[in-house]
Amino acid sequence: MRALSLRGALALVVASTLALASVGLTAVSASAATVAGTVSARSDLADGTNISPYFTDDNLALSASNIPGVTYRAFFTSSGTTPATGSQAYDLTSSSGVMLTNLDQTSSLIFESVGDVPFQLTSFRMQDAALLGSTYTAAAYRNGVPTGAAVQFYAAPTGNPFTFTLPSGFSYVDEVRVSSSGGDGFEGKLWQEGFNDFVVADSPQQADLSGLALSAGAITPGFSPALTAYGVSVSNSTTSTTVTPTATTPGATVTVNGVSVASGAASGAIALAVGANTITTIVTALDGVTTKTYTTTVTRAAPPSSNANLSALALSAGTLSPAFAAATTSYTATVPFTRTSLTVTPTRADSTASITVNGVSVTSGSASGAIALAVGSNTITTVVTAQDGTTTKTYTTTVTRSAASSNNQLSALSLSSGTLSPAFASGSTSYTASVGNATTSLTVTPTVADATSSVTVNGVATTSGNASGAIALAIGSNVITSTVTAQNGTPQSYTVTVTRAGSSNAGLSALSLSSGTLAPAFASATTVYTAAVSNATTSLTVTPTVSDSAASVTVNGVAVSSGNASGAIALAVGSNTITTAVLAQDGTTSKSYTVTVTRAASSNNDLTALSISAGSLSPVFAPGTTSYVASVASAVASITVTPTVSVGTASVTVNGVAVTSGTQSGAIALSTGSNTLTTVVTAQNGATKTYTITVTRAISTDNDLASLVLSEGTLSPAFSAAQQNYATTVPFGATSLTVTPTLADAAATVQVNGVTVTSGSPSDSINLNVGANLIVTSVTAQDGSPRSYTVTVTRLASSNNFLSALGVSAGTLSPAFSSAQQTYSASVPNATATYTLTPVRADPTATITVNGQTVLPGGPSGPIALAVGTTTITTIVTAQDGTTRTYTLSVERPESSTSTLSALAVSNGSLDPVFAPATTAYALETAASSITITPTVTDATATVEVNGVPVASGAASPAITLPLGETTITTTVTAQDDTTTVYTIDVFRTGAPVVELTHDLVVGDPAEASTVTFTGSDLIPGSTWKVTLHSAPVVLASGTIGLDGLLNVTVTLPAGIDPGAHRVALVITPPAGAAITSTIWFTVLGNGAIGAISLVGPVFPGLVITGIDGSALLLALLVALLAMAAGVLLIVRGRRRTPVTA
C-alpha cells in the first residue's frame, strides 16, 4: 500500500475531526483566556431600541453574545468621549439587518474595551443610510493616546451595508474612533450611519501577564499587569521558590530566569541565596517580537543571631552591686521601706534579641512596668532571648527593701479644756477629764513619738503637735480616741473620756390654764394653786413654760413641750388635782407645781326625749310638758318607755325602776283599759322632775296562731300566722298524726277538726288514708272573730324497690346475692357470647327492667350480647311510689387467643407448600421485581402486619420490592390477647442485573475534578463492588450491595493524572457467579486536559498530543477509523445503560 505523505495525513486529521467528534474523539489545544470574538447587536431588536449611553457585549438583552474575560462597548459621541443621547438599534433600510445608529448628528463612533484591555480590531460592518458619500477615518488609541494608526475609507452612497477590514496597525489598541468628513450641511459629522459586527482578535503585541505568584510568599505590591517590579521577603529557612506566571493572551510564551514555563503553571524550583535574589520573567507576545520583562527581588533573611547579652541594666531605685557588666549575671541592691516598687531598664546588645523582666516583655532601653517590692528580699529576673529563639541568658537582681518602724506611741497629749487624769505618759492609753456645762466643745493636741507614724483624732487625720478640729461635747460622757499608726501599719489608741456637767434649773417661768384663773397669781417660787370652773367645763389644758430650755416638763405624768398646751384633762364634778413636774438638765434636780381645779355640780333634771314602744304620745313631747296620754291595740300586752336626760349627770327611773338614759325600760304589762306610767328624773344636785303617761289598751281581735306543728311531716310552706293553707307528705307507714296549735293571743280559743284543743297541746290522733287528707284548725278571737288554717296531708304509696333474688345464666355472682348489695361481678369464658338475668322483686307492687327492657315477675331477661372485656348489665327496680334502685353486674369475658391465618395469598408465584393455617414457613420463586401479600385472619379480632406494616385482613399489602436473590417476607398475626404467630415466605427472585454509566468528562476540559457515576439495579444483595482508576491502580470507591439491590456511586478524578491512556472501571463481584464490569476509557494531554473519551474500548493518546510525527498520527487515525467501521465503539457524552447477565 502506498504511504501517505505528511500533508495527506494532516488533511485526513482535518477531514476526520468532525466524524470522530460524533463518536467521542476530539483533538483540542490547551485552553487559555482570550479576548477574541464578534460583538454584534441581537438580530431581533425592535427598531428604536435604546442603547444609550453604551452598547455592551455583556448586556445580553441587547448583545448577541458575550466574550468572557473582557467587556467591549460601542457608543456615539457629540464631543470628546462623552456618550451622546439618542443612540438606538435600527434596521435602517428595513431589509439590511439591525445596526447601531444615532439619528442625530454626532462627532464619532467609539469602540473600546472597559479597563483598557488591549485587543486587535480586524473589521466591522457599516451602512451609510443617508447616502452622504462621505470619507471616514478610523483611528487607533491606547490608554487615551493615539497610537498613530489611522486609515481613511470611502462609503459609496448606495445605502447597502458593507464590511470594512482594518490594517494591522490596529493590533494593539484599547479604543478605535470612527469619524466622518460628512456631506453637505453635515460637515465633520456622522448622521444616520449604522455600525455592527465588530470582529476582535487577540492583540499580537500583547505581552502582559494577568497573574504572577511565588510559592515563597506574596509579592509586594499586589500584582498589576502594568507594574513590572516586585519584591518578596522570606525567612532564612526558605531556600527556594517557584514562580507561576499567567499570560494575558493565549499563545504568548513565558520564560522564568531564561527557562520556558507554561502559562499558569509553576516554574522549576529556583534556589535562594541569603540576601537579594532577582528573578526575571519575560513574556513574548504572539508577534514573536514584543516582549515585557517582570522582575521580582526575593530577599532571603540571614541566619538568626545567638547573641543573648545585655549592654546595660539599670534600676529606678537603688544601685546595682557589682556595677553592671555584660558577663556578670547576678546583682544586689537595697532600697528604703518607703520604696514600694521600682522599674528595670534592660538594653540588649543585639537589636534582634527580645527581653522579658519577671516574665513580661520589655522594649530594649525602656523601663519595665512597676514591680512591687515586699519588705525584705525581692528577686527580679531579666531574661534575654537571642534571635535564634534558643539561646537565652538570665540576669538576676536581688532587691532588699528595709523593714518599717513599729513605733506607734505618743510623746504628748493635751486638751484645750479640762485636765487629763492621770497625767499623760506614753505607756498609759486611758484618761478622763471633766468640764463645766458651759464648755460645749474642745480640741485635742497629740504629738507622735516617731515622725514616720501618723495620728487621727476620732478618725480624722491630725498633724502631730497640732490641735485637732473642735469636737462637740454632749452633756455627760464623751469618748475621744486618738489613734497612732506606726510605719509598719500597727495601730495604738489613746482614749480620753470627757464628762460635761448638765444644768440644774428646774423652775417654771409661766403656768396657765385654758379655763379658770390660778389663785394666787403665778410666781416661779409658788408651787400650789387653786381654780374653779363651771359644771359646763368638762376638761381643760395646762400650758407650762420652763425657765431653762434644757429642762423637761410633764403634766399629770405626760410629757409636754415647754410653752405648749398639754392634752385635754377631763374634769370630774368636784375637786381635780393637776400636777406639773419639771426635771432639770442634770437629770436629778426636779420641782412640782400643783393646781386643784373644782368643777361645780349640775341642776338639770329635764328630759330631752320621751318615747313608748307602742302608740303615740299626746301631746307631742316637750321637756316642759310632764303629762301625756296614749292608746294601743289589744294585741299590745306590754310596753316599754325610753327616756333621754338632758345631761349625763342626771339619773332616771320608770315606774320606780332605774333606766339608762336613751335606752328602753323593761317591759311593762298592760291591762285592758287605762294604765299609768311614771318617769322620774333626778338632777346631779338631787332635784327631781316627774313625767306621767296614761296608756289605754283596747279589747283583742287577734285570731292568729303563733305556731302549728304536726307529729308527722313538715308544713309547706313553713308556718306563718298570715298563711292559712298548708300541705305536707308523709310516708306510707304513717297511718295517723296529731296537730299542735299555739294561739298568738291567750284570750282566743282553738279547735282541730271541730274538737277544742288547748293552745300548745296536741290534738287527738287523726287517721290518714293513702292519698290526700284535709285537717282544719279554727281560731276564735276575744272579740268573737274567727280564722281557719287548713293542712292537706298526703300519705305516700309503698317505696320498696329491693330485689329478693338475682339469678344468672352463666358464672357465679360475686359477692353472693343480698338485697342491700347493689354491685356484683361474674366471669365467663370467651365462648360465652350472650347472657341472661332472672331478677325477683321483694314487693309485688314494684316493676323491673334489665338494661332498659321490662322483665316479667320471676322471669328471665332477654339475651344480652357480651363484648370482650367488661360488659355492665343494669337491673332497675321501681317501687310503687316511683323510687328506683339499681343493681349492676359486671360480666368479664376474656380476649380471644386465636392468632392463626385462614388464608395467605401472593400476587406472583405459588406458595410451597400449599397454605395451611398450622404451617408457618413457605417458599416461592418469581422473576417479578415486587410482590404483594394478602393475609386473612381466622379470628376477626386479630390484627396482621406484613414486614411490620399493618394490613387489613383479606386485603393486599403494599408492594414489596424484590432484589435479585432471596428475600424473606414476614407476616405476623397478633391475637386479641397479644398472642402472636409468625408466617415466613422465602422469596427467590430471578433476573438480570442492570448497570448504567454516566459522566461529565468533556474533551478539552481539565481531567481533574471530572466525575463518573455508576448506577445499578437488580443487583444481588451482598455483592461487593470497587471503582478503580487505571493504569497505576487507584481505588476511588468500594462497598457492598444492600438488600434493595441498588447501586449509586459517583467518583471524582483526582489531581495529577499522568498524560496518556486511562480507564475508570467498576467491578461488581456477587457471592456466586461471574463478576459484572462497566468501564470508561479516556486520554489525558500534557496540559492535564481530556484528549479523547470512549465507552466501548481503549483510546490512543497519540491522537491528541502535539508535536508527534505524521506516521504516528496516521496510524492512530487508521485504528480509530477501522474501529468505527467494525461498529466496536459506542461513545456518548451523556450516559450508557448496559444490561448485564449475572
What does the pLDDT average to over 114-120? 91
**578 is a domain residue:** yes
Residue 380: inside a domain: yes
Task: Please report whether residue 11 resides in a domain.
Answer: no
Judge whether 1113 lies within some domain. Answer: yes
Could you tell me where the DSSP H helices lie in 759-907?
none
Q: Please tell me whether residues 496 and 512 are part of one structural domain.
A: no
Domain count, the chain: 10
Residue 28 resides in a domain:
no
Please state, in angstroms and as integers, the Cα–Cα distance from residue 483 to each residue in 219, 227, 1128, following that order.
74, 81, 115
**What was the pLDDT predicted at 1114?**
34
Please indicate, yes or no, whether residues 595 and 674 belong to a single structural domain of this protein: no
The pLDDT of residue 1110? 35
What gap in Å lies between CA 1035 and CA 1014, rounded to an integer?
15
Do 185 and 66 fall into the same domain?
Answer: yes
DSSP 385-451: E-TTSS-EEEEEEEEEEPPPP----EEEEEESSS--BS---TT--EEEEEE-TT--EE-EEEEESST
Domain end, chosen from 768, 795, 822, is at 795
Q: Which of 975, 1066, 1076, 1056 is nearest to 1026 (CA)?
A: 1066
What is the pLDDT at residue 20?
28
Residue 530 reports pLDDT greater than 60: yes
pLDDT at position 937: 94
Grid coordinates representing 54 are: 453604551
Q: Please tell me the predicted confidence (pLDDT) of residue 929.
A: 86
Mean predicted confidence (pLDDT) in 857-868: 91
In terms of domains, do 962 and 1064 share one?
no
- Which pLDDT score is estimated for 1140? 33
Do 514 and 565 lie in one domain? The reply is yes
Is 1003 strand, coil or helix? coil
Q: Are residues 907 and 759 in the same domain?
A: no
pLDDT in tens, 232-248: 999 888 999 999 999 98
Residue for grid cell 468528562: 1001
Residue with cell 338485697: 819
Place 881 in a pLDDT band, splitting at 50, 70 and 90.
Answer: confident
Boundary-marking domain end, from 937, 954, 989: 989
Of 542, 571, 599, which marks where a domain is finished? 599
The yes-or-no verdict on residue 131 having pLDDT over 70 is yes
Categorize the per-residue pLDDT at 1139 as very low, low, confident or very high, splitting at 50, 70 and 90: very low
979-996: pLDDT as tens digits = 999 999 999 888 778 899
Q: Which residues contact 607 (CB under 8 A, 6 or more apart)?
A: 621, 623, 643, 644, 645, 646, 652, 679, 681, 689, 691
Statement: residue 1111 has pLDDT above 80 = no
User: For residue 860, is the peptide bond before it cis, meaning its omega torsion is within 30 degrees of 0?
Assistant: no
Residues 692 and 764 in one domain: no
pLDDT, one tens digit per residue, over 412-471 is 999 999 999 999 999 999 999 999 888 999 999 999 998 889 999 999 999 999 999 999
pLDDT of residue 770: 80
Task: Find the mean pLDDT for residues 1056-1083.
Answer: 91
The answer to whether the predicted template modeling score (pTM) of the entire model surpasses 0.85 is no
The whole-number average pLDDT for the span 515-534 is 94
Give the pLDDT score at 168.
86
Tens digit of pLDDT for each residue in 582-638? Answer: 999 888 899 999 999 999 888 899 999 999 999 999 999 999 999 999 999 887 889
Q: Band the pLDDT of 33: cuts 50, 70, 90.
A: confident
272-312 residue pLDDT tens: 999 999 999 999 999 899 999 999 999 998 888 899 999 99
In this predicted structure, the answer to whether residue 12 has a pLDDT above a threshold of 60 is no
pLDDT at 317: 93
- pLDDT tier at 32 (50, 70, 90 boundaries)? low
- pLDDT at residue 1136 above 70? no
- Cβ partners under 8 Å of residue 1118, min gap 6: none
- Are residues 126 and 41 both part of a single domain? yes
Domain that holds residue 341: 310-401
* Same-domain status, 229 and 177: no
pLDDT for residue 321 is more than 70 = yes
Both 922 and 837 in a single domain?
A: no
- Are 985 and 1016 found together in one domain? no
CATH number of the domain where residue 330 is located: 2.60.40
Residue 184's pLDDT is 63
**One-letter amino acid of 591:** K
Residue 894 lies in a domain: no
At 457, phi and psi to the nearest 5?
Answer: -120, 120
Alpha-carbon Rg of the chain, whole angstroms?
Answer: 66
Name the strands in the sheet holding 259-261, side by side, starting at the edge strand that comes first in the sequence: 229-234, 291-300, 275-284, 253-256, 259-261
The answer to the question of residue 893 being in a domain is no
pLDDT, the chain, mean:
88
Res 102 pLDDT > 60: yes
Q: What is the average per-residue pLDDT within 936-956?
A: 93
- Quick: pLDDT tens for 769-789: 888 999 999 999 988 899 999
- Any domain includes 3: no
Instruction: Check whether 1008 has a pLDDT greater than 80.
Output: yes
Shared domain for 1068 and 1008, answered yes or no, is yes
